[in-house]
């Protein structure tokens, strides 16, 4: 698909999504044999697992067994396990794909270890505080103390609820989402801090950008918007917890929209794009996904948000190489940073595929 055609032609979206997924599956980028940071490098760590959520969206959109089989092979290779950190949300991201595959194939082994892990957490809840500072709080990653966690863990817990009918999984998500929100969501700005190191204590002590504004990281808020979508996809319409999630989604959306740049993408800093002029496609991909899903499901006004969706999709398409590599993806990090134009990571491709799945539905209507 040519970039010029992307915003108006649904027919080219799936072929392009296939190209990106195929390239990503063939090029995981990271040396999976070397493990100084196992959660980052592992084939079932969060970097790859977030990418698989997009591959799964493509599989569901196309009903193509090729992609399901690729994901099943990964699950089989790793014995349908997660990494060893019991409470860490990052290590739970892979469970989203396991649970989705279970819904399709109904093979109990696909969720057996996930169920064991989550049941242990329910029986032995983490008692650490939410402060994200290891010198003060050694268990700082045992709770959802950083905003990325809201993409990694809650959709996995809710999918296991659907698979098993065990309501405690749903209740765990509802309780802990709002604890994290109370800690990291800025009620005035309607955005999330990545963690409390950026929020500080009180208005005056919050970390600031070069222009004096608060530090809100694009991909961090993309993780949250994507997480909200994946929570709302699961919660029934009559669930008493649903209105509060919808309200936060609608609160964040106009602020995110106001930060979109003239080329259709977002920059790594929401409030100081001038300090980081580089294009960035992972946060942009999650915002595009969230906006398109919101339109498709009646939560966002189509006339207001569709132009932003199509402009962003167009801009992301222009960042895909002829081989299918998505470029302009900020590397692993936790705050706004500069990076090379050709940088890519699996989670960026995942965001692109999720966005494509919803843009296709939007244009196919």
What is the model's pLDDT at position 7?
Answer: 53
Work out the angle at residue 137's Cα, subtended by the Cα atoms of residues 176 and 126, and round it to the nearest 5 degrees.
Answer: 35
- Mapping DSSP onto H, E and C, the string for the chain reads CCHHHHCCCCCCHHHHHHHHHHHHHHCCCCCCCCCCCHHHHCCCCHHHHHHHHHHHHHHHHHCCHHHHHHHHHHHHHCCCCCCCCCCCHHHHCHHHHHHHHHHHHCCCHHHHHHHHHHHHHHHCCCCCCCCCCCCCCCCCCCCCCCCCHHHHCHHHHHHHHHHHCCHHHHHHHHHHHHHHHHHHEECCCCEECCCHHHHCCCHHHCCECCCCCECCEHHHHHHHHHHHHHHHCCCCCCCCCHHHHHHHHHHHHHHHHHCCCCCCCECCECCCHHHCCCCECHHHHHHHHHHHHHHHCCCCCHHHHHHHHHHHHHHHHCCECCCCCECCCCCCCCCCCCCCCCCCCHHHHHHHHHHHHHHHHHHHC
The pLDDT value given to residue 8: 61
Q: What is the pLDDT of residue 28?
A: 85
Separation between Cα atoms, residue 131 and residue 121, nearest integer Å: 19
What are the catalytic residues?
A: 148
Which pLDDT score, from 0 to 100, does residue 223 have? 98
Q: What is the pTM of this model?
A: 0.95
pLDDT at 204: 54
| pLDDT computed for residue 35 by the predictor | 44
Amino acid 201: pLDDT: 52
- Residues lower than pLDDT 50 in the chain: 1-5, 31-39
Q: What is the pLDDT of residues 1-58, one digit of tens each?
A: 444 445 567 999 999 999 999 999 999 865 444 444 444 558 999 999 999 999 999 9
Question: What is the reported pLDDT for 34?
Answer: 44
Q: pLDDT at position 206, please?
A: 74
For 163-193, write each residue's pLDDT tens digit. Answer: 999 999 999 999 999 999 999 999 999 999 9
Task: Give the model's pLDDT for residue 31.
Answer: 44
Closest-CA residue to 223 (of 152, 166, 278, 288): 152
User: Is the CB of residue 59 less than 8 Å from the CB of residue 67?
Assistant: yes
**Taking each helix axis from N to C terminus, what angle separates 302-317 and 346-364, rounded to the nearest 10 degrees?**
130
**Torsion angle in degrees (nearest 10) through CA of 161, 165, 169, 173:** 60
Per-residue pLDDT, 42:
86
Domains of the chain, earliest start first: 3-364 (1.50.10.10)
CB 233 within 8 A of CB 290: no
Indicate the length of the chain as a whole number: 365
Would you say 83 and 91 are in contact if contact means Cβ atoms under 8 Å apart? yes
What is the Cα–Cα distance from 221 to 218, expressed in whole angstroms?
5
């Amino acid at each position: 698909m040519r970039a010029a055609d992307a915003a108006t032609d649904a027919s080219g979206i799936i072929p392009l999504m296939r190209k990106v997924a195929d390239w990503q599956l063939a090029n995981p980028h990271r040396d999976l044999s070397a493990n100084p940071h196992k959660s980052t490098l592992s084939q079932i760590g969060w970097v790859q697992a977030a990418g698989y959520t997009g591959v799964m969206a493509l599989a569901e959109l196309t009903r193509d067994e090729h992609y399901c089989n690729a994901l099943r092979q990964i699950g089989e290779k790793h014995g349908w396990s997660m990494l060893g950190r019991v409470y860490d949300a990052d290590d739970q991201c892979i469970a989203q794909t396991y649970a989705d595959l279970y819904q399709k194939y109904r093979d109990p082994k696909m969720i057996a270890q996930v169920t064991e892990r989550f049941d242990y957490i329910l029986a032995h809840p983490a008692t650490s505080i939410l402060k994200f500072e290891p010198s003060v709080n050694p268990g700082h990653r045992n709770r959802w103390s950083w905003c990325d966690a809201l993409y990694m863990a809650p959709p996995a817990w809710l999918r296991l609820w659907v698979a098993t009918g065990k309501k405690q999984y749903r209740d765990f998500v509802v309780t802990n989402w709002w604890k994290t929100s109370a800690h990291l969501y800025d009620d005035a700005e309607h955005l999330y801090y990545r963690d409390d190191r950026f929020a500080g204590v009180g208005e005056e002590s919050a970390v600031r950008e070069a222009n004096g504004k608060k530090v809100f990281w694009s991909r961090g808020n993309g993780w949250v918007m994507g997480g909200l979508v994946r929570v709302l996809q699961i919660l029934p319409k009559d669930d008493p917890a649903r209105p509060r999630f919808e309200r936060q989604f609608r609160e964040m959306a106009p602020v995110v929209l106001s930060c979109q740049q003239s080329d259709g993408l977002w920059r790594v800093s929401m409030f100081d794009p001038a300090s980081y002029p580089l294009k960035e496609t992972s946060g942009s991909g999650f915002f595009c996904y969230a906006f398109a899903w919101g339109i498709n499901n009646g939560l966002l006004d189509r006339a207001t948000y569709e132009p932003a969706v199509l402009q962003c999709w167009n801009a992301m398409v222009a960042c895909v190489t002829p081989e299918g590599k998505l470029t302009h993806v900020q590397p692993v990090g936790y705050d706004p940073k500069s990076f090379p134009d050709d940088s890519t990571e699996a989670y960026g491709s995942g965001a692109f595929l999720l966005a494509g799945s919803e843009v296709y539905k939007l244009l196919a209507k």
